[in-house]
Structure 1
Amino acid sequence: MTIKRDGSAVWSGGIKDGKGQVSTGSGALKDQPYGFNTRFEDAPGTNPEELIGAAHAGCFTMALSGQLGQAGLTADELRTKATVSMEKVEGGFSITAIHLELRAKIPGASQEAFDKAATTAKENCPVSKLLNATITLDAKLES
């Protein structure tokens, strides 16, 4: 079975003075602005790195829910932040690392079961498998 999803981008102008919009096929994002100033400065709008972070956080968190279910556990709340690091390297820029910060409320979960589920989800969610970056995880089980 192959599942296909799509996103799109439109760009006009040069790299620094140009403007673009990104959209998702589902319509969840529609014509969201992006440009040099949203990517390399703090202008309002989005950028590819933040979208990758949101995608990774969503994928990892959903995969973790599945791992917990296999262990007979259900989370009250899983909250993940993915911080994407981009660095200038020879030949341009590269996403070099993603740090996942997870805070979880899971009734009845032992630290061992939680750690195993979180590590398995980090290593096996489809977005983690896609990325060629160092992926780190700071997972805390809250009471």
Structure 2
Amino acid sequence: MSDKPFLPPRWVVLSAWAVHRGIYRISGGRRGLWRPRPDKWGMMRLTTVGRRSGTPRSVILAYYEDGADLVTMAMNGWGEGDPAWWLNLQAHPDGTVELAGATRQVRGRPAAAGAEHDRLWERWRFYNKQLDGYAALRRTPATVVVLEPLP
């Protein structure tokens, strides 16, 4: 038996994302987002500015709260490369987050190397015991992204 976690084929991951977005859209935003609980991460909708197009781009992401900050991961469904939303945030760091029952303006940044990154990664590991195994499937590291509220 292998310690390598199961990762479904890429088409399954992409289809699941499409279904989730569809549920959000069809329900008018009433379904598809939820706040984190002590034992489970939440789901939010992040809107960024396209780095090439300059137009709004939205994605639904898992997150948890770290004080006033929201923490997510740029891991592209454990596929290679950075997801477009993270590339967009690097070019234009400000975005909008829709949470279950709230909207806020945020500025995205990578977690600082060292203590901050390690602490936030450890929290993700609490939610997903196989996190390190999934991360090992990628040649490039998954970035821990901190979304700080704007005043």
TM-score normalised by L of structure 1: 0.29
TM-score (normalised: structure 2): 0.28
| Structure number with larger C-alpha Rg | 1
**Greater fraction of residues in strand:** 1
Structure scoring higher RCO (CA < 8 A, sep ≥ 6) equals: 2
